[in-house]
Amino acid sequence: MIPFRRRDDPYMVPVRMTGVKMGDRVAFVGCAHGGRLAAIAAKVGLSGRAVAVVPDEASAVRVRKGAADAGVLVEVEVTSPQAMPADPAAFDLAVIDDTGGLLATMPDGDRAATAREVFRVLRPGGRVIVIGGSPRSGLGGLFNRAPAAPALDPTPVLEADGFKMVRSLGERDGLKFIEGIKPRS
């Protein structure tokens, strides 16, 4: 008999893969799913900070609804991700949500500028996590009829803009996680 795996928390995988913890300062770039963003933001607690930089009002509505439903505080900035309204080294972690094709649909120059901005706002030793879509396997892939967002491997973009140790953390539940580290010196 195959043991049944409970799924009480649908956002458990993204929260664990980001490694966010109490007191972290987290910048979110883009928002394809407000609940997932809010679940990650909830982990910073009152001693941390969560800021979402979104390109349009529709994304801002998703952030606000997700945050309200989860009862968490998330500052929302509707602006271009190529010009983030934050001081240098202001964040410990940046989460780029590419599940809706945010990075994949950007022109190459804008994609590079976004990576440079994320690099700028991260503290030395800070991490960026890009959450992208991946094809589901097994029965989930067979029965999933949702259209796939454009796929992009962010590794070359992150490496070109100074991130080190860029690597795939894994794929699960139709999501792919790529991590990069801003060097300490």
Q: Is pLDDT of 136 > 60?
A: no
Indicate the pairing of strand 164-172 with strand 175-181: antiparallel
**Sign (positive/negative) of CA torsion 4, 6, 7, 12?**
negative
- At 87 the pLDDT is 96
Q: Where are the domains of the chain?
A: 12-181
What is the average pLDDT across 165-180? 93
What is the average pLDDT across 78-82? 95
Work out the mean pLDDT of the chain and round it to a whole number.
89
Model confidence, pTM:
0.87
Token pair for 180: 């990069």
- At 18 the pLDDT is 95
pLDDT digits (tens, 9 = 90+) for 1-19: 455 455 567 889 999 999 9
Q: What CATH number has the domain spanning 12-181?
A: 3.40.50.150
